[in-house]
């Protein structure tokens, strides 16, 4: 969706984020503690019931006569048997529900939204739906009479209070929450459903990988149950945050190092932390080296990519965190373990292989667990580029439409109940492209953040925090191979690091002997992980004994992270601590 007002929209988005974090989140927690969930649901039911006239009018304006009839019956039942609408008896009696508003009506009449807007307090919208929202409010009678108009504001606050935690988590974890919200809105604002049919063969590896997007902690409040600490980094002098969950008595302390571009509060990281915490371990979650939070606060280089630098910065961060935790909670920690997944898994094995070379004053782990680790990063990024280019198999004149359909399905799935997400409706080209795109967006954020810190002059588009679209469009033309050859190599060659050094250090085979003899290592991978080739699997088998290596037949890349057998193996990998 076009964004000609991007600087203004970003400013409003920043204000909205500040209100969410500074006002809505703390006040919402107090409100939810006082007002129990049944009462909050009753207020939402009442609000929906009293705005029935808006839905009736819009159903009629769109010619949806059956929906207008259903909504009228629902209003009658909920107003009478539902005590003025505070109880939703109509749903209990399985009466159909339809949501109709003026935004739908305007698009039904032919208005095609094409300009993205950020609305103060209410968030993402567009030219059409913003006008529709204004008409919705104008059509609600209680907005015209005092004190009922105050009840309207109260009902809006009640509804938003239940969404605040997810919104704040999104702001924290996304490198650029503004553009993420815009991309999502472009698709979820559509009044039509995507084409759910999936023609052609499927690719199990990438299809299972897409399941990562649906992984969440079992307890929606798990993040809130933990604590956050800010620690000054000895390497950079800047503050870096960690999240942690403590057992009440002395327990092993597990550090979780996430995949490329993932944040310490991302759902995948939290789901893994929750599982480990429930099994009796204290847990710390950290941010990946390719995420702007790490790049700005804990990295001693401008470009992440070279394992000796990245892993040294990680180990320094872990050491600073450990000292701060020991000082604040003396006597609560036993042995230390490092659990890394995806890129974090590679870094865990890299640190394990070089632990004897680490300075004695840096943290030493008693166990290294690598989950779905790549073996050779060059093989991994070439696989990602190959996935992203999968759409070239589509006819050029249909390619953009098919891409839009695939992304529309993703956006729709994320807004559906978990029961609707059991079977992902993507063929091989779609699933490969979507996996490649997710990594490509991480690369976009990495390049932009690095060039804002140290502009190498590679990008032709001017860098601006407030108008990023042109620069993002240019960056998205770069592959991972381009990142390596056009950004990384020139940057590190100035420090005396050449292509041969990279080839050696990005491949775990370089440290085969060290990995073979280290008894503290445990590795879990999936046979159909797209970032591993058959030679990588064979090398793992020949290097690590079966007691330290587990290979699952399926799961793609992290797609089976929440399956009971996989989780049981993770916990077994920590036994003995």
Backbone angles phi, psi at 101, to 5 degrees: -145, 175
Q: Is residue 55 part of a domain?
A: yes
- CA–CA separation, 298 and 302 (whole Å): 11
Q: Residue 128's domain spans which residues?
A: 6-173
Straight-line distance from the first to the last Cα atom of the chain, in angstroms, rounded to the nearest whole number: 52
Q: Is residue 105 part of a domain?
A: yes
Which alpha helices (DSSP H) does 285-395 contain, by range?
A: 292-297, 307-328, 343-353, 377-388
CA distance 183 to 186: 5
Q: How far apart are CA 253 and CA 246, in angstroms?
A: 9
Q: State whether residue 498 is helix, strand or coil.
A: coil
Examine residue 11 and state whether it is found in any structural domain, yes or no. Answer: yes
Position 444 scores a pLDDT of 96
Q: How many domains, in total, are found in the chain?
A: 1
**444 near 476, Cβ under 8 Å?**
yes
Residue 197: the pLDDT is: 84
Q: Residue 422, SS3?
A: coil
CA dihedral 276, 279, 280, 282 (to 10 degrees): 10
User: C-alpha distances in angstroms, 84 versus 72, 78, 467, 557?
Assistant: 14, 6, 48, 50
Backbone angles phi, psi at 535, to 5 degrees: -65, -35
Asked if residue 331 lies in contact with residue 484, where contact means CB atoms within 8 angstroms, the answer is no
- Provide the residue-wise pLDDT of the chain in tens; the chain has 577 residues: 899 999 999 999 999 999 999 999 999 999 999 999 999 999 999 989 988 999 999 999 999 999 999 999 999 999 999 998 899 999 999 999 988 999 999 999 999 999 999 999 889 999 999 999 999 988 887 777 777 777 778 888 898 888 899 999 999 999 999 999 999 899 888 878 888 888 889 999 999 999 998 899 999 999 999 999 999 999 999 999 999 999 999 999 999 999 988 999 999 999 999 999 999 999 999 999 999 999 999 999 999 999 999 999 999 999 999 999 999 999 999 999 999 999 999 999 999 999 999 999 999 999 999 999 999 999 999 999 999 999 999 999 999 999 999 999 988 888 776 655 557 899 999 999 999 999 999 999 999 999 999 999 999 999 999 999 999 999 999 999 999 999 999 999 999 999 999 999 999 999 999 999 999 999 999 999 999 999 999 999 999 999 999 999 999 999 999 999 999 999 999 999 9
Beta partners for 285?
243, 256
Q: Classify residue 79: in a domain, yes or no.
A: yes
- Report pLDDT for 177: 94
Domain-embedded: residue 62: yes
CA angle 358, 362, 364 (to 5 degrees): 80
Q: What is the pLDDT of residue 196?
A: 87
C-alpha to C-alpha distance for 357 and 369, rounded to whole angstroms: 19
Q: What is the pLDDT of residue 324?
A: 97
Q: What per-residue confidence (pLDDT) applies to 142? A: 73
Q: Is residue 70 in a domain? A: yes
Query: Dihedral through CA 547, CA 552, CA 555, CA 557, nearest 10?
Result: 50
């Amino acid at each position: 969706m076009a964004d000609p007002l991007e600087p203004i929209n970003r400013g409003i988005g920043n204000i909205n984020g500040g209100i969410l974090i500074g006002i809505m989140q703390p006040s919402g927690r107090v409100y939810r503690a006082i007002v129990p969930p049944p009462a909050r649901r009753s207020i939402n039911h009442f609000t929906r019931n009293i705005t029935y006239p808006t839905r009736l009018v819009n159903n009629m304006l769109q010619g949806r006569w059956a929906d207008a009839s259903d909504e009228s019956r629902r209003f009658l039942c909920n107003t009478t048997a539902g005590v003025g609408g505070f109880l939703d008896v109509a749903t209990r009696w399985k009466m159909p529900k339809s949501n109709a508003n003026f935004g739908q009506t305007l698009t039904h009449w032919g208005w095609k939204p094409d300009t993205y807007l950020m609305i103060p307090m209410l968030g993402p919208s567009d030219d059409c739906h913003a006008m529709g929202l204004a008409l919705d409010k104008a059509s609600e009678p209680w907005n015209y009479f005092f004190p009922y108009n105050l009840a309207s504001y109260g009902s809006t606050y009640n509804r938003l209070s239940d969404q605040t935690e997810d919104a704040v988590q999104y702001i924290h974890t996304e490198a650029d929450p503004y553009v993420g919200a815009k991309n999502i809105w472009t698709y979820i604002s559509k009044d039509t459903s995507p084409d759910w049919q999936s023609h052609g063969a499927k690719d199990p590896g990438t299809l299972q990988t897409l399941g990562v997007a649906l992984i969440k902690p079992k307890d929606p409040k798990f993040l809130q149950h933990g604590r956050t600490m800010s620690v000054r980094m000895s390497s950079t002098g800047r503050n870096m945050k960690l999240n942690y969950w403590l057992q009440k008595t002395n327990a092993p302390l597990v550090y979780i190092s996430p995949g490329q571009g993932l944040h310490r509060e991302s759902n995948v990281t939290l789901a893994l932390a929750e599982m480990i915490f429930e099994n009796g371990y204290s847990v710390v979650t950290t941010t990946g080296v390719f995420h702007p939070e790490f790049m700005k606060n804990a990295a001693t280089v401008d470009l992440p990519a070279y394992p000796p630098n990245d892993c040294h910065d990680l180990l320094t961060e872990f050491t600073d965190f450990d000292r701060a935790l020991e000082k604040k909670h003396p006597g609560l920690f036993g042995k230390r373990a490092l659990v890394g997944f995806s890129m974090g898994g590679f870094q865990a094995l890299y640190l394990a292989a070089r632990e004897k070379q680490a300075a004695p004053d840096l943290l030493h782990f008693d166990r290294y667990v690598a989950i779905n680790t790549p073996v050779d990063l060059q093989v991994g990024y070439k696989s990602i580029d190959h996935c992203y280019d999968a759409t070239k198999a589509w006819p050029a004149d249909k390619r953009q439409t098919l891409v839009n359909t695939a992304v529309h399905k993703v956006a729709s799935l994320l807004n559906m109940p978990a029961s609707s997400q059991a079977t992902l409706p993507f063929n091989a080209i779609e699933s490969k492209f979507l996996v490649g795109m997710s990594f490509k967006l991480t690369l976009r954020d990495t390049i932009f953040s690095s060039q804002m810190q140290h502009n190498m002059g590679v990008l032709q588009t001017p860098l601006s925090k407030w108008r990023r679209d042109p620069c993002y469009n240019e960056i998205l033309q770069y592959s991972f191979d381009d990142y390596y050859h056009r950004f990384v190599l020139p940057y590190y060659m100035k420090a005396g690091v050449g292509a041969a050094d990279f080839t050696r250090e990005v491949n775990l085979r370089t440290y085969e002997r060290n990995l073979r003899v280290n008894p503290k290592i445990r590795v879990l991978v999936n046979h159909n992980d797209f970032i591993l080739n058959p030679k990588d699997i064979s090398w793992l088998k020949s290097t690590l004994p079966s007691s330290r290596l587990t290979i699952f037949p399926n799961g793609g890349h992290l797609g089976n992270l929440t399956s009971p057998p996989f989780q049981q193996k993770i916990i077994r990998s920590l036994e003995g601590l």
